[in-house]
Amino acid sequence: NYLPVNKRTPENFAKHFNDVGLDKLVAFMRIQRNVECKKELQNEVSEMIRNQDSVREIGVHCKEQMKLNNLEEFEVTVLLWRSLMDAVEWNKKEDLVAEQALRHLNTYSPLLAEFTSQGKSETALILKIQDYCYDNMNFMKVFQKIIILLYKSDVLSEDVILKWYREDHLAKGKSVFLQQLQKFVEWLQNAEEESSDEEDS
């Protein structure tokens, strides 16, 4: 309300308050706007998933909003995960939820792959998955299967999985999740060693 109607844009707001030395207010408003934009986009994506819009349509919409609202790729990756998991009524039985989750994520893995072109985005995603599986008890045993599916779908890379295993993991459910992934990580490490041996020879 401090600005005339035709000047109420984020740019004019920032300029006006920066000019009078209120940089902290501008920074605070930028954070608030970022939070609102992400919440709005998450709701839109959840709605698109429920309406069974194509992966391509959802991807295009996310990229437009990402550009429009100056969102980082890793922020979009995390909100996509939330939207994907919120859009489904999950089965209460542990054995059935695994099958349901893998089928659902397999459908949308190309969408996640579009927004994990950076290591930071992959790390943000794997941490979000760990957090989600810990907070939703029916998913505790599904963690390993989700990670392997996303590895096979080129969403998560070998390097990010190994780094998560060695140092980047959260404390939440750490022992359970590390144990689940132990054999897969050993397989990845062996494949890595064989590949470097081949390069040496």
- What does the alpha-carbon distance between residue 130 and residue 132 come to, in Å, rounded to a whole number? 5
DSSP 8-class letter at 167: I
- What does the alpha-carbon distance between residue 51 and residue 45 come to, in Å, rounded to a whole number? 10
- What's the pLDDT score for residue 176? 95
Q: Do both 39 and 112 map to the same domain? A: no
Q: Which residue, 71, 103, 130, sits at the end of a domain? A: 71
82 belongs to a structural domain: no
36 belongs to a structural domain: yes
| Average pLDDT per 10 consecutive residues for the chain, totaling 201 residues | 62 65 65 78 93 95 92 95 92 87 96 96 97 94 96 96 94 95 92 64 53
200 belongs to a structural domain: yes
- What does the alpha-carbon distance between residue 9 and residue 194 come to, in Å, rounded to a whole number? 56
Written as six digits, the tokens of 28 are 């605070």
81 belongs to a structural domain: no
- What's the pLDDT score for residue 191? 76
Q: Do both 48 and 115 map to the same domain? A: no
Q: What is the residue range of 102's domain?
A: 88-201
- What does the alpha-carbon distance between residue 145 and residue 136 come to, in Å, rounded to a whole number? 15
- What's the pLDDT score for residue 27? 67
Model's pTM, two decimal places? Answer: 0.80
78 belongs to a structural domain: no
Q: Do both 104 and 194 map to the same domain? A: yes
